[in-house]
Structure formats: structure tokens, C-alpha cells
Amino acid sequence: MTSRRHPHDCLLRGIAGVTLLELLIALTLLVIVLGGIYGYVTTSGRSARQTNSFLQIQAQARAALDNIVDEIRWAQQVTAADAAQVTVLVPQATPFSAASPYLVTFAYDPALDVLTRQEDPDATGPQPPGAAEAVAHFLVRKDGGAGVVFEYFDTAGASLGGTPPDLTEVARVRVTLVATLENTSRTLVGDTALRGR
């Protein structure tokens, strides 16, 4: 007796089925690959955000340093100085003070890791000094040290250190800013001579 074959039997003979174990292994591999891709994407996004934040911090520190150097360049004399702050007298008839001379103080606040600018609009006249305004943030060294250092020099270029013994000797000021965000630091240095010195 001969058996009858269905016409589609020849097509089904070469097809093997997928077992449940093979399906589970394939799904496990897919989950591992997708988990790796997700981890890469989230790490890349976090890194991009951190880089963008650091570039913004560096840009604001650079802008603050440029403004400090420009304002000190027009100053006539240093009236107070140490390694964490400097006060200069900017005379009348400069790009910064058309009407009257003024005092400006740049000071480092280590509690907030900021550099502030405070202006006395009439140079110890009857008007009170304005409020100190932060001009740069995240100024701290990786080791937690001061993120702003002022250094002073005489007309011959000799260092007077961070606290000059005689303010009338100061002819040049060097400002060092260190901006740090999550173990990434950038050091910016500006150096300028006082006007007419």
C-alpha cells in the first residue's frame, strides 16, 4: 500500500522549528545588546552635558578675566591688595569712567568659589559702594585651593608677591583664575600694567 503525500509535504521537510530555548537565548542576547547601546547613549549624553557646562564655565571665566585686565589697565593706582583681592582707582576720562573717578574691587570668595566686582562710583565720596556682584563662578582648584590669585610686580618686573609691602610700587598685576567642574580644570592667566606706570 502506498501512502498519499500532500503536495506541500516536500516544502515542509527542510524547515526546522525554533525551540523555546533558542528563542530565550536570542531574546537574552538582544536585551544585552540593547542594554549596551542604552548605556553608551546615556554616558555620551552625560559627557556631552558635562563638556558643554565646562565650556560655559570656561567662557564666563575668560570673559571675566578679560574685563578685569581691561579695567586694571586703565587704573591709575592700586589702593588695596592681597592675593585674594585688589582695589584700583580708575581716573576720570577713560572708557570706563567718563564723568568721575571710581574705585573698583575684585575679590575672591572662597566659600562660594566666585570672583566678585564691587564699584565705589565716586571713589570714597559721599555715595556708598555698590553691591558686590559675582562675575565668575566655579573658581576653585582640583585640590580645593584658591581659584583666584593676584600677584603684583614693580616697574622693573620684580615680583612683589601676593601682598605688596608698598602699594605705590605696584606697576603690574597678574590675575590667575582656575575654573573647575567635576575634576576638569582650566587655568587662565591675565597680566596687565597700570596706566602710566
Express each pLDDT in 29-44 by its tens digit: 999 999 888 888 888 8
Phi/psi at 94 (5° precision): -125, 170
C-alpha–C-alpha distance, residues 88 and 73, integer Å? 10
pLDDT > 70 fraction of the chain, expressed in percent and rounded: 90
Distance set, CA 153 to CA 77, 99, 134, 167 (Å)? 13, 30, 26, 10
pLDDT digits (tens, 9 = 90+) for 90-109: 888 777 776 778 899 999 99
Coil vs helix vs strand at 128: coil
